[in-house]
């Protein structure tokens, strides 16, 4: 898959539909394929991909990361957290401030699952580029909770989910 196709997978119509959709949904797999392709790319291709992450694509990656933190709890598996952390490490390039909130969700999911938090972050660091690995190292041991960064644990009728608590205001365009 060429870079244009890969980036095209991260171009979805703006709105709340992806954020509010069922977990998992077809769009999750679409974004997951792009994140996996980034992880499997050469360092040079990763650098070009990272450079192309603007605020809109970063927002999509952060919503995906939030959803993966919830999916990990639903599936009782750390693998979705690892993929979500790789996405967040990539999104921090386009939206560094917003990206800082998402790791708290993954730390909480690891706690719920009784999985070593450091192991998840280290595994994600091994699947991203150097910039992403440094960022993951820096946010791994923070002590903020989902509530501290404006989220609450919820049940959407189908299972566990993180929801934005502050007046239920959308943060991203997705």
What tokens does 66 get? 């939030």
Q: In this structure, are residues 161 and 154 in contact, taking their beta carbons and an 8 Å threshold?
A: yes
What tokens does 104 get? 């708290």
Residue 109 CB burial class (10 angstroms; 0-12, 13-18, ≥19): buried
Q: What is the pLDDT of residue 168?
A: 53
Write down the pTM of the prediction.
Answer: 0.93
Bigger pLDDT: 158 or 1?
A: 158
E strand or H helix that includes residue 153? strand 151-155
pLDDT digits (tens, 9 = 90+) for 104-160: 999 999 999 999 999 999 999 999 999 999 999 999 999 999 999 999 999 999 999
N- to C-terminal Cα distance for the chain? 24
Q: Sort residue 15 into left (φ over 0), alpha (ψ -120 to 50) or beta.
A: left
């Amino acid at each position: 898959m060429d870079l244009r196709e890969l980036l095209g997978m991260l171009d979805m119509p703006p709105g709340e539909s992806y954020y509010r959709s069922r977990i998992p949904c077809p769009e999750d797999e679409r974004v997951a394929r792009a994140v996996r392709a980034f992880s499997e790319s050469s360092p040079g291709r990763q650098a070009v991909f990272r450079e192309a992450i603007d605020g809109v694509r970063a927002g999509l990656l952060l919503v995906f990361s939030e959803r993966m933190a919830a999916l990990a709890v639903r599936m009782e598996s750390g693998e979705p957290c690892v993929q979500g952390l790789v996405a967040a490490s990539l999104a921090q390039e386009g939206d560094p401030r917003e990206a800082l909130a998402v790791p708290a969700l993954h730390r909480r999911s690891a706690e719920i699952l009784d999985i070593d938090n450091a192991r998840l972050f280290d595994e994600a660091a091994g699947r991203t580029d150097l910039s992403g690995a440094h960022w993951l190292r820096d946010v791994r041991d923070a002590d903020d909770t989902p509530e501290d960064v404006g989220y609450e644990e919820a049940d959407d009728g189908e299972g566990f989910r993180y929801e934005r608590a502050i007046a239920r205001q959308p943060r991203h365009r997705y």
